[in-house]
Structure 1
Amino acid sequence: MKVTLSALLVVSTFIIHTSTEVVNVSVTVSTRQAVSFIDDLFVGVTLDSSLLPTSQHWRGLDLNSQKVKVLAKGLSPCYLRIGGTAGDNLTFVPTGHGTVDSNHALTEATWDAVNKFVQDVNWKLIFGLNVLKRKEGKWDPTNAKELLQYNCAKGYQLAGLELGNEPEIFLGQHNTTVSASQLGRDFYNFKKLLRSTPGYEKTLVIGPDMTSVARSRKYFADFLTAGGDRAVDRITFHQYYTNGHTAHLSDFTHSKLMDTLVSYIQTGLDVARRTNPLTPVWLGETSSCHHGGARGMSDRYVAGFLWLDKLGVAARMGLKAVLRQDFYAGNYGLIDHRTFDPLPDYWLTVLYKRLVGDAVFSVKASVDNSTIRAYVHCTKPSSSYGYAPGSVTMYFLLPTDNTTTITFPQFPGQPVDVFWLTPVDGLTSKKVRLNGKLLALVNSQLPRLPPKTVTSGSVTASGKSFGFIVIPGANVAACKKHTQSPIIG
């Protein structure tokens, strides 16, 4: 479709031209049949276990803050996974059961605060138990039972429980080891315990939370064949692209680095499906850079390239949940750890949850994915925008400096709604604009986040930017059959 001057002017309010060259791209979607499905809980968040000990005081996170609650509710429904390396040092300390070093104590008061928060914001809690509570070489469930009993007595709901975090690197993290086969047996015994405990008949057993399926493929496989396959309701592994201490700004828009995720996920799926072909697989903890993120980058606008691409790849490849490290703390949080202000990836995640529906389609662009990266779903039915069944949501990343015009030849003449995100002051900006308008809370509430309607049938956007495009009148039959997938994560 030919791009006219008027078409360029229509969207000029949110285009920042960074290059004189304009790349024209046509996009086509294979709408006959979906390649996979996601659900409302596909995108979740994490908090690190290191926030829980009484000595930490949540490292500044105020669970009673109205701002924090408003931002959390903006992501609901949502899994919250609390886990991490520190979880394998934690001891639950019921009142009157003695004392534990405050650096490793999970108190009743802290547990109450967590559960009140998730209830208030409509989140579902997943918690990582300490697998290094061991006796005669086996996991000792005594302390876990105390937590489960207390939790049940208080009437709290647990969506899922993990047992240990990144077990294949225990030697480096905790100066001990647990073999894959023993861990598989521990999980199997844990599953039997959980299913026999009133109130936990449906609580998910989640694991093994591998740090790297690529480096530790054998450990992963041995865990599953030793009993883990019969224990886990959700199979998890973790993923980060690079080390936050050595990351460069260019890494975040590097297509070859983005492409590494495909082979990584495929490795995990290959191992998991040998024993558990029907068990949902999750990225149980994931972000751009490990070691706490990259200062001044992984919590800025530029981090959205890796985040949005990860969501697209994971959904297309059939993963059922992606849990973002993290909601708060580190250099990769969704909210600022000083002000609790929403950071760029927070707004990106809210838009994803509002716009992106269940069915995932294959998509082809007329240029390679180093110029444009494209993903397509049915549009999510919601009261936010009122899109009718049959509409589609596309999301795009433009990792180069080239201004790009996108056309949709299979939907000729269709108006499109554009939700395009650009930085306020460069790729390392903490502030982001939607269609040219600065995003911020309005009267302590989330703004409506309206689209800009373009009637020309094409959209032009600046290089090194990303966003969502909805075609309300696409009339895709597969999007009328599925309003939302019944498969839960």
Structure 2
Amino acid sequence: MESAALLLLVLLLRDQTTALLLADRDRNCSVVEVDPSAVVRRVDPRFLSVTIDASLASEEKFVSLLSSTKIRTLAKALTPSFLRFGGTRQDFMVFSPQKVQQDLGSSAGSSARWLFNGSSAEGSCDRMELPLWLEDKLKRDWTQQLLTLMREDLQGKYRRVKFTEDTVDLLHSFASCSGMDLIFGLNALLRSADNSWNSSNAGLLLQYCESRGYLMSWELGNEPNSYEKKAGIRVDGHQLGRDFARLREMMSQSTWYRGAGLFGPDVGQPREHRVDLLEGFLQSGSQAVDAVTWHHYYVNGRDTAVEDFLDPQVLDSLIQKTKDVLQEVQMVSPEKPVWLGETSSAFGGGAAGLSDTFVAGFMWLDKLGLSARLGTAVVMRQVFIGSGSYHLLDDNLDPLPDYWLSVLYKRLVGPEVLKVESPSSRVRLYLHCSNRNSYRGGAVTLISMNLGREPAWISLPALLSSSSTVEAFVLQSDRPGGEGLYSRCVKLNGGVLKMVDDRTLPHLKGARLPPAEHLQLPAFSMAFFVLTDAGAVACM
């Protein structure tokens, strides 16, 4: 079955449960149930969200890259979304306000101050541009900085980083001007003698942000299960919950942040003592947070292989881990949303030559499909920009394949999840109502992946094609066969995707299928098929 060419007959009947029929060349059919009459899950409209790794602020000048015209253009295409600023180095960052700005001796620092010059971010979006000469210099310097960050990660030794108002201003400006909702990660490794969280530095930061009128949400700490390893500090779940309760108390005393979001505890995926950490946190701190966050990666970036990115068992490993977290949360706070607060393909900064190539898209798209189906409300992709090899933009700030996949998901897929079953472990399907900003009510989007080396065919019979137009968005590597899995370029319906200029994305147009037209789902491909006139009751 998996090595044969496949024919998928899609039958969607209004007001009743219908079926997807999968057949091979001999027309031997397997029935897969589909129900377009009822929503089985509903995710947050900002379901696909992104992160900026705190490593970008390892030297404050690099945060100025967020004033690049290109990066802001690319960010706007991913809205609506949350923008989380955090990661390992957030727990080594200390806010150091400067009432009188000093010359830091770097052109980038001068530029950051020039960009603001005391004016509000919202009023200056159109005129805040990073000069091209400075952008080029920062990109060159960032390439060298990545080597330093990599050495720190390998050694597990992290230095304290001071950041000023400039970093906060640039982050808020970037989020606000791009249309994203900023979540700022606070340092949880600032501890008092009794091992409780020392909130004084966070108090200074909240006070500054309130004085500027910055609308934003907050997190406290990153992967507390690793505190002992990276800083020699052990914090149990109950103390962690009390720390979050303290932060919520501080926010409640603020006129500006009384109703702001607080998310956490950003624990690693549950196993062994990490389960105890989450359990303890939920008992003492679940009421303090608006959503419970955890992190997930499939494999170790230092010893993985391309086959892992296409292995159905690896992809399905997300199912039980998600269920474990959901079960823990539901026992204590049944109504509390659960988020993947940080996630990508491989931990350890990603897998070099894999996490930033075409093959990574299968893990990313399948994670989006599975997470929505299982009941995860938000999925935050590590990383939009920052250290590692799992970024959406390369070192030149050009979009990588997972970026284009994310933009298409945003435009085509709505928050309502419908029931569908994948007919094969290597032909994976997910079904949503279509994005209402792009299509009228009743339209559905079939998310499809072919992990195999042989093509599949998807065909709409006359029963549906007579009343429904299909728009096909098929993503393939720009190179054929297995070699293409390592490519950093992607084709949409045969054309390579790239920016027109720094302010303009290409026109992402679907291929309209005539009635009864068979569409080939090529080997190693991903696709979105929008049934514009399906008339799905759940999507009206």
- Contact 1:431–1:438 under 8 Å retained in 2: yes
Aligned counterparts of 1:98 and 1:74: Cα–Cα separation in 2:
34
Aligned counterparts of 2:511 and 2:30: Cα–Cα separation in 1:
20
Which residue of 2 is the match for residue 33 of structure 1? 38
In the TM superposition, residue 406 of structure 1 has moved relative to its aligned partner by 2.1
- Contact 2:49–2:379 under 8 Å retained in 1: yes
In the TM superposition, residue 131 of structure 1 has moved relative to its aligned partner by 1.1
In the TM superposition, residue 106 of structure 1 has moved relative to its aligned partner by 1.5
Which residue of 2 is the match for residue 351 of structure 1? 408
Which residue of 2 is the match for residue 88 of structure 1? 91
Aligned counterparts of 2:315 and 2:98: Cα–Cα separation in 1:
48
Matches within 5 A, 1:236-251: 236-251=293-308
- Contact 2:92–2:159 under 8 Å retained in 1: no
| 1:424 matched to 2:478 | yes
Aligned counterparts of 2:332 and 2:52: Cα–Cα separation in 1:
30
Aligned counterparts of 1:474 and 1:98: Cα–Cα separation in 2:
59
Which residue of 2 is the match for residue 12 of structure 1? none
Which residue of 2 is the match for residue 218 of structure 1? 276
Which residue of 2 is the match for residue 15 of structure 1? none
Which of 402, 411, 427 aligns to 2:464? It is: 411
Q: What secondary structure sits across from 1:188 in the alignment?
A: helix
| 1:377 matched to 2:456 | no
Matched to 1:469, the amino acid is F
Which of 450, 475, 486 aligns to 2:509? It is: 450
Which of 452, 457, 467 aligns to 1:400? It is: 452
- Contact 2:7–2:458 under 8 Å retained in 1: no
Q: What secondary structure sits across from 2:207 in the alignment?
A: helix
| 1:145 matched to 2:218 | no
Q: Which has the higher contact order (CA 8 A, sep 6+)?
A: 1
Aligned counterparts of 2:261 and 2:344: Cα–Cα separation in 1:
23
Which residue of 1 is the match for residue 62 of structure 2? 58
Aligned counterparts of 1:400 and 1:35: Cα–Cα separation in 2:
29
- Contact 2:60–2:167 under 8 Å retained in 1: no
In the TM superposition, residue 479 of structure 1 has moved relative to its aligned partner by 0.3
Which residue of 2 is the match for residue 464 of structure 1? 524
Task: After superposition, give the CA deviation of every residue in 1:327-363 in whole Å (9 maximum; x if it has no partner).
Answer: 01310110112x1111000000000000001210110
Q: What secondary structure sits across from 1:222 in the alignment?
A: helix
Q: Give TM-score, length-normalised by structure 1.
A: 0.88
Runs of at least 5 residues in structure 1 that lack an aligned partner in the other structure:
5-19, 481-489
Deviates more, 1:323-332 or 1:402-411: 402-411
Which of 335, 360, 363 aligns to 1:278? It is: 335
Runs of at least 5 residues in structure 2 that lack an aligned partner in the other structure:
1-5, 9-24, 105-157
Q: What secondary structure sits across from 1:207 in the alignment?
A: strand
| 1:331 matched to 2:389 | yes
Which residue of 2 is the match for residue 300 of structure 1? 357
Matches within 5 A, 1:92-171: 92-96=95-99, 103-135=160-192, 136-158=194-216, 160-171=217-228
Aligned counterparts of 2:465 and 2:7: Cα–Cα separation in 1:
13
In the TM superposition, residue 57 of structure 1 has moved relative to its aligned partner by 3.2
Which of 51, 67, 71 aligns to 2:70? It is: 67
Matched to 2:513, the amino acid is V
In the TM superposition, residue 28 of structure 1 has moved relative to its aligned partner by 4.8
Q: What secondary structure sits across from 2:389 in the alignment?
A: coil
Aligned counterparts of 2:473 and 2:307: Cα–Cα separation in 1:
24
Query: How many residues were matched structurally?
Result: 454
More helix by share: 2
Aligned counterparts of 1:439 and 1:149: Cα–Cα separation in 2:
44
Aligned counterparts of 1:84 and 1:23: Cα–Cα separation in 2:
50
Matched to 2:407, the amino acid is V
In the TM superposition, residue 423 of structure 1 has moved relative to its aligned partner by 0.5
Matched to 1:472, the amino acid is T
Aligned counterparts of 2:208 and 2:280: Cα–Cα separation in 1:
34
In the TM superposition, residue 165 of structure 1 has moved relative to its aligned partner by 0.8
Which of 236, 241, 259 aligns to 2:316? It is: 259
Matched to 2:359, the amino acid is V
Aligned counterparts of 1:25 and 1:453: Cα–Cα separation in 2:
27
Q: What secondary structure sits across from 1:134 in the alignment?
A: coil
- Contact 2:361–2:401 under 8 Å retained in 1: yes
Percent identity at matched positions? Answer: 37
Aligned counterparts of 1:442 and 1:43: Cα–Cα separation in 2:
24
Task: After superposition, give the CA deviation of every residue in 1:412-432 in whole Å (9 maximum; x if it has no partner).
Answer: 544311000000120111111
In the TM superposition, residue 408 of structure 1 has moved relative to its aligned partner by 4.8
Which residue of 2 is the match for residue 436 of structure 1? 494
Deviates more, 1:101-110 or 1:311-320: 101-110
Q: What secondary structure sits across from 2:421 in the alignment?
A: strand
- Contact 1:49–1:86 under 8 Å retained in 2: yes
Distance change (3 Å), C-alpha of 1:282 and 1:22: farther
Aligned counterparts of 1:247 and 1:187: Cα–Cα separation in 2:
36
Distance change (3 Å), C-alpha of 1:52 and 1:406: same
Distance change (3 Å), C-alpha of 1:25 and 1:453: farther
In the TM superposition, residue 102 of structure 1 has moved relative to its aligned partner by 8.5
- Contact 2:431–2:445 under 8 Å retained in 1: yes
Q: What secondary structure sits across from 1:401 in the alignment?
A: coil
In the TM superposition, residue 459 of structure 1 has moved relative to its aligned partner by 2.2
Aligned counterparts of 1:291 and 1:188: Cα–Cα separation in 2:
31
Deviates more, 1:414-423 or 1:88-97: 88-97
Task: After superposition, give the CA deviation of every residue in 1:229-276 in whole Å (9 maximum; x if it has no partner).
Answer: 111111000000001111101111110000000001000000011111
In the TM superposition, residue 128 of structure 1 has moved relative to its aligned partner by 0.9
Deviates more, 1:320-329 or 1:108-117: 108-117
Distance change (3 Å), C-alpha of 1:3 and 1:304: closer
| 1:206 matched to 2:263 | yes
In the TM superposition, residue 457 of structure 1 has moved relative to its aligned partner by 5.0
